[in-house]
Amino acid sequence: MLLLGSLQRQAVRCESLGSPMYAELLRRLVDNYELGGVSADVLAGYENPPPGSVIGLRLLGAVHGLVLAGEVPELAVFYPSVDGVWDPVLGWEAFEQVLQSRSAEVRALLTQPPQTNEVRRSAALYGGLLQLVQEVQLPVRLFEIGASAGLNLRADHFRYVADGESYGAADSPVVIEDAWSGRKLEPTELRIAERVGADIAPVNPLSAEGARTLTSYVWADMVERLERLRAALEVAARVPADVRREDAVSFVRGLELSPGHVTVLWHSIMWQYLTDEDRAAVDAQVAELGEWADETAPLARLRFEPGVEAPSEFLVELEVWPGGGRRVLGRIADHGQDLVWSFPSASGND
């Protein structure tokens, strides 16, 4: 059975990424499952989940959603996201009770992949754009596939602190400390003329339900991430972005260039969800659009995904038309931490 291995690996990941609470809950879910407890009932049918389906995070997100909705106060007292204090023994007991009493609601939510719109990832986008506009001094039209709630389409409205310098919007409620290292970026004014995203399951960050969905998928003891998300929701309320319900292939097919602007296609941690066929279709479409690009209407693709030629690590990569070839700008971890700029480098290889 693949399920228990997946929960155990997720526990190790949560521990190493700073969520001891979720690590503990996942380990206890495994123990409970092996003893034939409620976790086996709730996870029935998911014995062999497909790779990448992160079933443990779906379950934890579903329960966190109930906590945030104020429906399980007996568990909420252990959730730091709502000012509770985590206790591994009493917290697990309350969690187990909720699995028992709310199993139908939790199971209903297991069908949905987590909706993690991680604001820290915007450091890669913002830093990548700064490097782009040094070469291509034009206003940016920003397009994102797998945009989720579109929070990162507002990247220029966040503040980034790196090497004692401050970048972005000085008065932003979103402050990304230690945004990057490796090389110093030139603070440059970014003009974003358009912000459009696509997602197969977009979340409306302006609705209470959307905000709760996004919050439910942040690990409940990662207070800094929660604060950053709440601040980004404030920014989203005053900076509009158009996020459509559309799949990546169809969205990219509709992209056009615009004289006097650099058209940027950006994506972060969504490539893994596309089929091989869809990935090839997106790549082909972007390459075709690139053939039409010229100095007056350039095109750029900025990706924060497993490296094209180094899939075992997350890279920030930039490709610009006309010109260019793909360049690795930096290395990064999947929630946007530990971004180290290493630009410039040889095409596609660094």
Ligand X SMILES: C[S@@+](CC[C@H](N)C(=O)[O-])C[C@H]1O[C@@H](n2cnc3c(N)ncnc32)[C@H](O)[C@@H]1O
Residues at the interface with ligand X (CB under 6 A): 115-118, 121, 145-148, 152, 198-201, 247-248, 268-270, 273-274, 278
Residue whose CB is less far from ligand X, 6 or 268: 268
Residue whose CB is less far from ligand X, 67 or 218: 218
φ and ψ at 304, to 5 degrees? -125, 90
Of 325, 297, 308, 304, the C-alpha closest to 141 is: 297
Residue with token string 């090497």: 163
Query: Which pairing describes strands 326-332 and 340-341: parallel, antiparallel, or unpaired?
Result: antiparallel
Q: How far is the CB of 125 from ligand X (least distance, A)?
A: 9
d(CA 121, CA 305): 11
Residue nearest to ligand X (CB): 146
Determine the Cα angle at 211 with ends 25 and 128, to 5°.
90
d(CA 131, CA 121): 16
Query: Two tokens at 139?
Result: 């206003």
Residue whose CB is less far from ligand X, 65 or 146: 146
d(CA 183, CA 327): 15
Element (H, E) at 16: helix 3-16
Residue whose CB is less far from ligand X, 133 or 281: 281
Q: How far is the CB of 335 from ligand X (least distance, A)?
A: 9
Q: How far is the CB of 204 from ligand X (least distance, A)?
A: 13
Q: How far is the CB of 70 from ligand X (least distance, A)?
A: 25
DSSP for residue 347: T
Of 17, 12, 41, the C-alpha closest to 27 is: 12
Residue whose CB is less far from ligand X, 41 or 242: 242
Residue whose CB is less far from ligand X, 19 or 32: 19
Q: How far is the CB of 266 from ligand X (least distance, A)?
A: 9
Q: How far is the CB of 346 from ligand X (least distance, A)?
A: 27
